[in-house]
Amino acid sequence: MRALLLALSLAVGGCVSTNPYYDPAKPHHRPDGFRNLDPQAVAPRPFGDFLRWRRERAARAIEPPRLDLSPVAPDLALLRADGNHFAVTWIGHATALVRIGAVNVLTDPHFSARASPVQWAGPKRHQPPGVALADLPRIDIVLISHNHYDHLDEASVRALAAQPGGPPLFVVPLGIERWLSEVGITNARALDWWEHTEAAGVTIHLTPAQHWSRRTLRDANTTLWGGFVIEGMAGGALRRVYFAGDTGYSEPLFRAIGARFAPIDLALLPIGGYEPRWFMRAQHVDPEEAVRIHRDVGARRSLGVHWGTFQLTDEPLDQAVHDLAVARQRLGLDPDAFVTLRHGQTLRLP
């Protein structure tokens, strides 16, 4: 019964309140919340589709991973070093530590044992965080792409807000700043798609994504979702990092991002959480679609995230790595242009 109630809390729609951010001139705004730009990309899916997926999943076993997904020892000396660096460390799932110059930016921080409203049920972490909360350097900026439990974890953001020396700045899509305030975090700035803010010497832009939001029975799509472009100086040059958050594939959407920001030095693109395609296509890209995003946004290099940590969908935990290799070959992309890391591993960029 508890498991059923948890599933319902994550999958059933309900009544929503009036959207305090509503702007009728913006096509992604609705009086009761937000929507995707593609009218065919309806999310969340109807509850009947969710039940069909769960029935089909219960009827077959998910294969264990073939790869060793355990974390490597993080380079803590590099993470804590002063000076000018351009690097990214994959902590797990959608959590990555991006260093641009002397600025530390953390994406979708999740350090808890489960991606769930409770810690006694729900999807469990299969690998520990690649860098422990206590081992992080001081974080200047936290980016939250949307409010799903595998991307917005209350215990993690509370811990970051209590870091020594004062809280980081939380940059979030519209509406998430209100939720942060409810848990005592007031150092937040909310953005709409294509808006930007400046902090700690970098500029943060919120970009569109094709996804959805919900944390309770009554708040479907009442907060916005999106990705981010971070612009800052490192090594004497302007660097751009694109974090896509969670998204389905829309060629016009990603070409619009590329038209504004290309060339992008590093893209953090989701490659996991894509099976079965009939259910996940509108909300999660598969590895081949991630390669297409890499090209659409004009990325010089991409890192695959959102895989190997939580068993949220039907593909094995490491299937995304194998499918990414096939997609790179099929689409003629150099393997070094789109890579994956072990949990805790750092990629230093030129």
Local confidence band at 5 (pLDDT 50, 70, 90 cut-offs): very low
What is the average pLDDT value for the chain, to the nearest integer?
Answer: 93
pLDDT at 14: 38
What's the whole-number mean pLDDT along residues 326-334? 97
Helix (H, G, I), strand (E, B) or coil at 270: strand
pLDDT in tens, 165-200: 999 999 999 999 999 999 999 999 999 999 999 999
Determine how many CB atoms are found less than 10 A away from the CB of residue 119: 11
Closest CA to 148 of 179, 121, 188, 181: 179
What is d(CA 29, CA 7) in angstroms, rounded to the nearest whole number? 27
pLDDT digits (tens, 9 = 90+) for 77-86: 999 999 899 9
**Antiparallel, parallel or unpaired: β 346-348 and 338-339:** unpaired
Q: How far apart are CA 44 and CA 215, in angstroms?
A: 12
* Domains within the chain, CATH numbers bracketed: 62-348 (3.60.15.10)
Judge residue 132's burial from the number of C-beta atoms within 10 Å of its C-beta, 0-12 exposed, 13-18 middle, 19 or more buried: middle
Instruction: Name beta bridge partners: 30.
Output: 33
Closest CA to 250 of 43, 22, 107, 23: 43
pTM (global) more than 0.75? yes
pLDDT at 119: 85
Mean pLDDT check: name the lowest of 16-20, 28-32, 38-42. 16-20
Q: Is the pLDDT of residue 6 over 80?
A: no
The string of pLDDT tens digits covering residues 242-257 is: 999 999 999 999 999 9
- CB contact at 8 A, 56 and 276: yes
Residues 6+ apart with CB under 8 A from 274: 280, 281, 284, 285, 286, 287, 313, 315, 320
Per-residue DSSP letter, 187: -
- The neighbour count for residue 292, using CB atoms within 10 Å, is 19
pLDDT of the residue at 40: 79
Mean pLDDT of 36-40: 88
Q: For residues 88 and 303, is the Cβ–Cβ distance under 8 A? A: yes
CA distances in angstroms from 127 to 28, 186, 245, 307, listed in the order given = 36, 31, 20, 11
Scanning the chain, the segments in alpha helix (DSSP H) are: 2-11, 47-58, 76-80, 154-161, 176-182, 251-261, 277-280, 287-296, 319-331
Judge whether 283 and 225 are in contact, CB under 8 Å.
Answer: no
Per-residue model confidence (pLDDT) at position 43: 73
Q: Determine the average pLDDT of the residues in 91-120.
A: 96
In this prediction, residue 348 carries a pLDDT of 96
**Torsion of the alpha carbons at 107, 66, 57 and 59, rounded to the nearest 10:** -170
Q: What is the pLDDT of residue 159?
A: 98
The residue among 88 and 47 whose pLDDT is bigger is: 88
The Cα–Cα gap between 306 and 246 comes to 8
Whether 21 and 176 have beta carbons less than 8 Å apart is answered as: no
Q: What is the pLDDT of residues 267-306, one digit of tens each?
A: 999 999 999 999 899 999 999 999 999 999 999 999 999 9
Of residues 288 and 8, more confidence is placed in 288
- Exposed, middle or buried by CB within 10 Å (0-12, 13-18, 19+), for 111? buried
What is the reported pLDDT for 122? 85
* pLDDT greater than 90 at residue 45: no
* d(C-alpha 299, C-alpha 307), whole Å: 20
